[in-house]
Chain A
Amino acid sequence: MSDDLVTLSVDGVEVSVPKGTLVVDAAKKIGNDIPVFCYHPKLEPVGMCRMCLVEIGLPMRDRATGEPLLNEDGTPQINFGRGLQTGCTVQVSPGMVVRTKTDPVEQARADVIEFLLTSHPLDCPICDKGGECPLQNLTMRHGRGNSRMVFADKLHMEKHVPLGDLIFLDRERCIQCARCVRFQDEVAGDPVIGFHNRGRHLEIATLSEPGFDSYWSGNTTDICPVGALTTADFRFGARPWELTPVATLSPHCPSGSNMTVSTRREAKAGGRSVIKRVMPRQHEAVNEIWISDKDRFVHHFAESADRLTQPLVRKNGKLVAASWTEALDVVAGKLQQAGTAVAGVSGDRLSNEDLFLFQELFRKGLKSNNLDLANGRLAGGDIVAQVGISSGSNLKDLGKGDVVVVVASDLHEEVPVWWLRLKQAAERGAAIVTLNVRGTRLDKYAKHALRYVPGEAVATLRQLVNQSKVETDGQSDDPIAAAAATVGSAGNLVAFYGAEGLTYDETESVAKLLANLLLLKNGDGHAGKKNNGLIPVWPHNNTQGAWDMGIHPSFAPGYKALPEAGLDAHAMYEGAASGTVKALYVLGADPIGDGLMDGRGKLDFLVVQEMFLTATAAAADVVLPAQSWVEREGTFTNAERRVQRYYPAITPVGDSRADWQILAQVGERVGLGKPALAASLVFRDVVKAVKQYKGMDYRSLAKYEKQWPDVGGDDLYYGGNAYENRSGLGQQWVAAAESGKVGMFEVAETAVKSSPGLKLVRTAALYTPGTLISHSAALLGPRMAQPTLSLSTADARKVGVADGNRVEVTANGMTMTATARVGDAPDGVALISGVAYVPGTAVVQIRKLQEEKVA
């Protein structure tokens, strides 16, 4: 047996666990549930609540000889000391004997429960947690059923304390376990809630602005062991036992966060089943048991009153309701009429099945390669297919000696789950190297925070990559050389790249340079090894899938290069304006609203498949109402190339159909044969066409295994109310470097052209207005990112702008208004956030607006 394992016995059952394991966790491993309140397996133990008291005995030794003392029958003598000990703070040791079912233990549990209930209101019948409440369950299991305290002496406290607008506190219910406070401090890194006052008067309070200012606030309601913390979304919404949990995935974020939507059929919704709440679903290699507040709260768009419910066809200049048959016939006919002047753009939120059939419709049905993402920001899907993070990797495995490079991305705002996991990697000892045009929140955890001058990202990264090849002693005053030394000595190396301030072409160079970094050392590099590789910070939840499915003018599904490339999105929009493109199919995207297309131009025919009447849909000839992700099933592929399933949860809205279904029906009309009857069958065709998906089917994607720590079910008091994953962990596809040699990439030298003047860089904010969030905004309304322009103090002085001024910002022919913030930007850069995506860096003009008089 390995030295790192310790063997002990718990209630007579032997168990071997790694050194350092706590008694409660050791017991849990063999199914012995020592009750806990304050302990949480993802937080440092504090021993505050005393619920986990057990008898812990250690083998006795002869003081003189050190030899174990034995009983007459040869068994070791065990000394149980004089009192009970908290199993959540004691680490296991060899030969330890733990007793969890003795009278003193049961007595202690009953006492602790009685004590916790002295100030508890016992209002379970109206409590959101009732039915899935650790306090309720443990009281049933270990409490006495009566109390020696006088009921009338209970301290009554406020029951509706808003900690900001998302989370509410019921002061009476709090048992002061500090799980919430510790989560915010230790896990989220946002210590914005704290204990206030002492003893019975202790309460959770916040002074942040806005209150409880954290993207992770909702998670505290999952781990709160009572109903003290509730979300504004679910508060008094339903009783937990009325809910049907359905496994789903984040519809926003390329991390592929696993979630559960809890639904209920409601009379007030006409008998439809509706979403009552969204909670995390455990996936320890993806999002563990946490989700960001965006994932938790931005789901209302699915049930928005603005949803399109029936097909619309333009007649006499007006969009009017039509039957599906009529609409589909028009679409098929018009697309075919356009001949080779047909084109299609899609968004990157749709499922693999949808995107694959879109591709089939164009390539096989309409014989066109004019297919692209409507708003591609980030290049390099084909590079990721070569050197993407290896299958079987887990960011949780990164630690001492490992290095993570993050280029041109603010993960806290773009993919908060990755930010969280990299922060934890740094805390385990991994070195983080950031390379950005400005400071980001990850810098606080970074060993090297490098900056580049706007427009010089590629040149600076090239320097870093070239210097990483050189053997050095790691001592250097030059920040790039110092970072290069760190990178050069990396055990495992993971590289993230985003698009902040970069043009599409620049992102391609960045991806290639990082690929070369991973491939260095002549084939004995990092690429292809577990816990190594490239991760693109895609803008949406299924951008990876869109690349895999061949939504690209020059790749067929599975990255097969096409002999003849079609038009890219940019060329299509120009073609629409000039008349060379005659018919355009827009799938789940809004190029007109996003400012990519100036109206419908000279298009003969525009069809839009959407959930909402977007600006593009309003200009269309036919609008096909599509279902949201929760109304049907499908698969998304996350940026770590993990293909995962999500399931139908609510009743479809109106006459809307799943995107793949609509596309199959259009396909049938252009000669592609009988449409597939189920998403699972479409996925079979996907697997045939995309060789990387070989071996996957809906059943293999649904496989799961038990994960640590235990959550949900009977163990809800232990790991919190996150759902246990019983619907599938998905499958990661294998990058080329894992199975063969990949050559280095050519990256053309680009002359650094530094032009004078202030440069505009658009930065991400998690709650930036967009189609989904804006149709779910009620809850996040006050937190939505407002257009903000950040300038350095020197630059602000030069352009005559003070903090708080309203300014007009003009760049690349676009004009926006924003509020100025002074002091948060490097010299020479104007950072704009809270606005739609702006690629690259552009010379910017800033004009102060006259203050409107406030009445």
Chain B
Amino acid sequence: MIQDKYAEEIKGILARYPTKKSAALPLMHLAQREYGHMSREAMQEVASILDLDPTHILSLTGFYTLYYEEPVGKYVLEVCNDLACALKGADEFAAMASEKLGIDVDETTADGLFTLKTVMCLAACDRAPMLQCNLAFHEHLDEAKFEALIAKLRAEAASGKMAPSVVEKIAAYAKQS
């Protein structure tokens, strides 16, 4: 229960807003950091802290792409395939990535390292094809660059130097802003 575990942090978040409802997004980041994704239980918990119906939290989770309803891998690869990127071959790029990782879009590799997703415009249209990995942009991509990226991340994970997971990074980022 984040309610008990992070009582002080939650109190701090609530104190920042005039109404409880406004604290939904930061609390969701906290819950996601704790549980790895926005599970139904996480939604219920956040809702009960805020005296809201959990449906409201479900709506927010579905609206913002940085909340995950399903468990995700350590690295989330989000390939933009919105119009501009699509014209520069984003769909083919995503298909290639999916084949290289051996998973479909919205799936996670068996080792729990990578999740592949497609997303709407990330405002890097002039550098397509591109993807975002744990919030960092990788641009002007092609097959070779993609393979290199995957190899680097695999090595990073194998080295045991655990870089923060995607949900930790998102939560930390949300906290700063």
- The contact of A195 among B44, B47, B52, B59, by CB within 8 Å, is B59
- The contact of B62 among A192, A195, A206, by CB within 8 Å, is A195
Residues of B within 8 A of A195 (CB): 59, 62-63
Indicate whether B24 reaches chain A with its CB closer than 8 angstroms: no
Interface of A is mostly: loop
Closest to B43 in A: A207
Indicate whether B56 reaches chain A with its CB closer than 8 angstroms: yes
B63, A205: Cβ atoms closer than 8 Å: no
List of 7 A-B pairs having minimum Cβ-Cβ separation, nearest first? A194-B59, A207-B54, A196-B62, A197-B62, A194-B55, A207-B55, A207-B58
B58, A196: Cβ atoms closer than 8 Å: yes
B63, A198: Cβ atoms closer than 8 Å: yes
Indicate whether A815 reaches chain B with its CB closer than 8 angstroms: no
Residues of B within 8 A of A192 (CB): 53, 55
Indicate whether B40 reaches chain A with its CB closer than 8 angstroms: yes
Contact surface of B with A, Cβ cutoff 8 Å: 40, 43-44, 47, 52-59, 62-63
B53, A208: Cβ atoms closer than 8 Å: yes
B53, A191: Cβ atoms closer than 8 Å: yes
Indicate whether A193 reaches chain B with its CB closer than 8 angstroms: yes
A206, B55: Cβ atoms closer than 8 Å: yes
Interface of B is mostly: helix
Contact surface of A with B, Cβ cutoff 8 Å: 190-198, 205-208
Residues of B within 8 A of A207 (CB): 40, 43-44, 47, 53-55, 57-58
User: Complex formed: what's the CA distance from A425 to B49 in Å?
Assistant: 29
Residues of A within 8 A of B58 (CB): 194, 196, 205, 207
Closest to B65 in A: A198
User: Complex formed: what's the CA distance from A726 to B56 in Å?
Assistant: 40
| Interchain nearest-CB distance for B159 vs A (Å) | 37
Residues of B within 8 A of A208 (CB): 53-55
| Interchain nearest-CB distance for B19 vs A (Å) | 14
User: Complex formed: what's the CA distance from A3 to B58 in Å?
Assistant: 47
| Interchain nearest-CB distance for A167 vs B (Å) | 14
Residues of A within 8 A of B53 (CB): 190-192, 207-208
| Interchain nearest-CB distance for A27 vs B (Å) | 33
User: Complex formed: what's the CA distance from A206 to B58 in Å?
Assistant: 8
Which of A194, A195, A198 counts the most B-chain CB atoms under 10 A from its CB?
A: A194
Which of A192, A196, A205 counts the most B-chain CB atoms under 10 A from its CB?
A: A196
- The contact of A193 among B43, B55, B57, by CB within 8 Å, is B55
Closest to A201 in B: B62
User: Complex formed: what's the CA distance from A206 to B40 in Å?
Assistant: 12
Residues of B within 8 A of A191 (CB): 52-53, 55-56
A196, B59: Cβ atoms closer than 8 Å: yes
Residues of B within 8 A of A197 (CB): 62-63
| Interchain nearest-CB distance for B139 vs A (Å) | 24
**Further 16 A-B residue pairs, CB within 8 A, beyond A194-B55, A196-B62, A207-B57:** A192-B55, A193-B55, A194-B56, A194-B58, A194-B59, A195-B59, A195-B62, A196-B58, A196-B59, A197-B62, A205-B59, A207-B43, A207-B47, A207-B55, A208-B54, A208-B55
13 contacts between A and B (CB under 8 A): A191-B52, A196-B58, A197-B62, A197-B63, A198-B62, A205-B55, A205-B59, A205-B62, A207-B44, A207-B53, A207-B58, A208-B53, A208-B55
User: Complex formed: what's the CA distance from A632 to B43 in Å?
Assistant: 51
User: Complex formed: what's the CA distance from A196 to B54 in Å?
Assistant: 12
| Interchain nearest-CB distance for A431 vs B (Å) | 22
Which of A192, A193, A195, A207 counts the most B-chain CB atoms under 10 A from its CB?
A: A207
Residues of A within 8 A of B43 (CB): 207
User: Complex formed: what's the CA distance from A191 to B55 in Å?
Assistant: 8
